């Protein structure tokens, strides 16, 4: 089997330059030794050795840029020149090395003539905010197109990358059904470069739902709530009022939440009115939004994805589909945060407001039911995939106490730690993995309530839980459940 794997890698590397570059850190010395042994064997072929060297150069250049801090950095400066001394400025005409943010499917014929290679990288980057200083820059492909990408340091992107792969598999399952072929989860490319850095595809023409609703102080944008309902309470008042309830009784939290809802009305329907003024396009885009929210909600529920605050959900300004980002909280780890998460997915008032007068009924509920039906039908496939991931010692999906506290201290600037470093930790993770898989099985078999339920009942229960004010009022204030 090992010789077969080696042969496959050699063939693919010879024809495409697939990324087998060096990882700077790891916790599994056995895997490191195996990887080094494989690369040593591949390097015996001069053509393959040249590909590997180029791949390493690209990886190291991107890692260097991810950690680069410009002198005289300013929060007000929007653009920085990349110094000529940085390695990334020397990456030119790597035509036989695939663009990091472009997907490259395995071709049985081994013909990769149409692969998009790297022509060059831009000589500027744009800070996008955050404690880890992520940077937006561009890569010019051999097809002449300029593509946006985000480079990040001090952050473990392996879980995000794995989640994108799981979403892709779920999309394949959905596309195989006659009634679900138009349902999908929006995905984007993520390439971890090391345990603490990586590059992500930048989703062009999108914005966070939070930016639309409450604005961006840095850009002096007041947001849709202040724009369309200036007499309502301001978002900051709502946040402060909910924060003041921390430590109070559930009854007091619920009373405060209901008061906020009475004085602060949803406005997300305005996004569709202003962005898509033509009636037929407005109708189609709103329908696409409803379906994307339904699909993401059901798949996110099965995978136990949490931390769904309004800065972790984008909306595409062209298609109106939602795009979820940051999957550091998964497999119901949100339930062990300092302020436990009490809802299965985000279905707050503004999210529902964008669905029109039918709200969670009609197309949304039907799409949820059809999505869950497909996931249930293929539950064994999903379990088999997740079983491999959850027990992988290199896949750090559990949340440490420090990480949990950090996420609910500043939800927009979180960074993640890496894999376990002790046998005791690994044993604990195995036990936690057993529990996570048990919960996923229960969800996919409809038995999480202790007895079998129909798909309709399961979906109805989830919608009720996600919209229940008694659950929403208990969430962490940074989640902004009133939006």
Cα 268 to chain centroid distance, Å, stands at 22
Q: How far apart are the first and last CA of the chain?
A: 53
The reported pLDDT for the residue numbered 470 is: 98
Cα gap 406→421, rounded to integer Å: 20
Residues 132 and 251 in one domain: no
d(CA 416, CA 400): 9
Phi and psi (nearest 5°) for 413?
-125, 35
The residues with which 94 forms a beta bridge, in sequence order, are 118
Residue 359 covered by a domain:
yes
The answer to whether residue 105 sits within a structural domain is: yes
Statement to judge: residues 362 and 428 lie in one domain: yes
Write down the pTM of the prediction: 0.87
The verdict on residue 187 lying in a domain is: no
Domain's final residue, options 119, 154, 189: 154
| Same domain, yes or no: 150 and 214 | no
Residue 10: what pLDDT? 47
What's the pLDDT at 4?
Answer: 45
Range of the domain at 371: 206-479
Determine how β-strand 146-153 pairs with β-strand 135-141. antiparallel
Q: Is residue 216 part of a domain?
A: yes
Closest CA to 403 of 393, 390, 417, 413: 417
Specify the DSSP class assigned to residue 187: -
What pLDDT was estimated at residue 397?
63
In this structure, what CATH number is given to the domain that contains residue 408? 1.10.1070.11
Residues 264 and 379 in one domain: yes
How many helices and strands (H and E) does the chain possess? 17, 11
How much is the pLDDT for 102? 87
Which sign does the torsion angle of CA 382, 385, 387, 389 carry? negative
In this predicted structure, what is the pLDDT of residue 400? 62
Q: How many C-beta neighbours within 10 Å does residue 456 have?
A: 13
Residues 170 and 197: their CA atoms lie apart, in Å, by 26
Cα–Cα distance for residue pair 134/112, rounded to 1 Å: 32
Tell me, yes or no, whether 363 lies in a domain.
yes
Helix (H/G/I), strand (E/B), else coil: 378: coil
Query: Is residue 118 located within the same domain as residue 243?
Result: no
How many structural domains does the chain have? 2
Helix (H, G, I), strand (E, B) or coil at 205: coil
Q: Indicate if 96 and 215 belong to the same structural domain.
A: no
Positive/negative CA dihedral, 221, 224, 229, 231: negative
Residue 184 is assigned to a structural domain of this protein: no
Among the candidates 154, 184, 216, a domain finishes at 154
What pLDDT does residue 65 have?
95
**Residue numbers of the chain with a pLDDT score lower than 70:** 1-28, 73-76, 217-220, 393-407, 409-430
In the prediction, which pLDDT does 395 show?
61
pLDDT for position 150: 95
Same domain, 147 and 253: no
Say whether both 240 and 362 belong to one domain.
yes
> Which phi and psi angles does 3 have, rounded to 5°?
-65, -35
Could you tell me if 71 and 213 lie in one domain?
no
- Point out the domain boundary residue: 154, 188, 214: 154
303 lies in the same domain as 397: yes
The answer to whether residues 235 and 145 belong to one domain is no
| Same-domain pairing of 212 and 84 | no
Closest to 233 measured CA to CA, from 265, 266, 263, 268: 263
Whether residue 181 is contained in a domain is answered as: no
- The answer as to whether 129 is a domain residue is yes
């Amino acid at each position: 089997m090992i010789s077969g794997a080696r042969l496959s890698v050699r063939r693919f590397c010879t024809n495409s330059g697939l990324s087998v570059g060096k990882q700077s850190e790891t916790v599994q010395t056995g895997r490191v030794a195996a990887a080094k042994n494989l690369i040593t064997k591949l390097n015996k072929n001069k053509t393959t050795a040249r590909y590997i060297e180029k791949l390493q150069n690209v990886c190291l250049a991107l890692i260097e840029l991810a950690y680069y801090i410009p002198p005289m950095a300013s929060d007000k400066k929007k653009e920085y020149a990349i110094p000529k001394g940085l390695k990334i400025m020397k990456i030119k005409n790597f035509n036989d090395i695939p663009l990091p943010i472009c997907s490259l499917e395995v071709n049985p014929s081994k013909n990769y003539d149409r692969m998009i290679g790297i022509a060059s990288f831009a000589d500027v980057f744009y800070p996008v905010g955050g404690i880890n200083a992520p940077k937006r820059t561009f890569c010019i492909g051999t097809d002449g197109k300029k593509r946006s990408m985000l480079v990040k340091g001090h952050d473990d992107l392996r879980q995000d990358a794995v989640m994108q792969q799981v979403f892709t598999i779920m999309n394949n399952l959905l596309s195989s059904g006659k009634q679900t072929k138009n349902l999908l989860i929006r995905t984007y490319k993520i390439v971890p470069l090391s345990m603490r850095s990586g590059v992500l595809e930048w989703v062009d023409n999108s914005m966070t739902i939070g930016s639309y609703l409450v604005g961006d102080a840095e850009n002096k944008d007041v947001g849709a709530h202040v724009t369309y309902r200036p007499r309502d309470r301001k978002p900051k008042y709502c946040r402060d009022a909910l924060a003041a309830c921390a430590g109070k009784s559930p009854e007091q939290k619920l009373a405060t939440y209901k008061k906020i809802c009475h004085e602060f009305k949803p406005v997300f329907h305005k996004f569709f009115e202003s962005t898509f003024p033509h009636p037929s396009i407005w109708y189609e885009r709103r329908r696409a939004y409803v379906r994307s929210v339904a699909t993401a909600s059901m798949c996110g529920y099965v995978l136990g994805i949490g931390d769904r605050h309004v800065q972790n959900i984008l909306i595409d300004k062209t298609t109106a589909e939602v795009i979820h980002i940051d999957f550091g909280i998964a497999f119901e780890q949100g339930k062990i945060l300092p302020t436990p998460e009490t809802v299965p997915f985000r279905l707050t008032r503004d999210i529902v407001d964008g669905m029109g007068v039918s709200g969670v009924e009609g197309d949304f509920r039907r799409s949820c039911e059809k999505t869950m039906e497909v996931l249930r039908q293929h539950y064994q496939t999903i379990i088999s995939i997740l079983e491999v991931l959850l027990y992988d010692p290199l896949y750090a999906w559990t949340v440490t106490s420090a990480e949990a506290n950090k996420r609910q201290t500043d939800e927009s600037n979180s960074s993640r730690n890496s894999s376990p470093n002790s046998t005791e930790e690994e044993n604990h993770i195995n036990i936690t993995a057993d529990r996570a898989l048990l919960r996923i099985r229960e969800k996919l078999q409809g038995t999480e309530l202790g007895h079998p339920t129909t798909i309709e009942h399961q979906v109805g229960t989830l919608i009720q839980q996600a919209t229940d004010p008694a659950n929403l009022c208990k969430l962490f204030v940074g989640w902004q459940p009133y939006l």
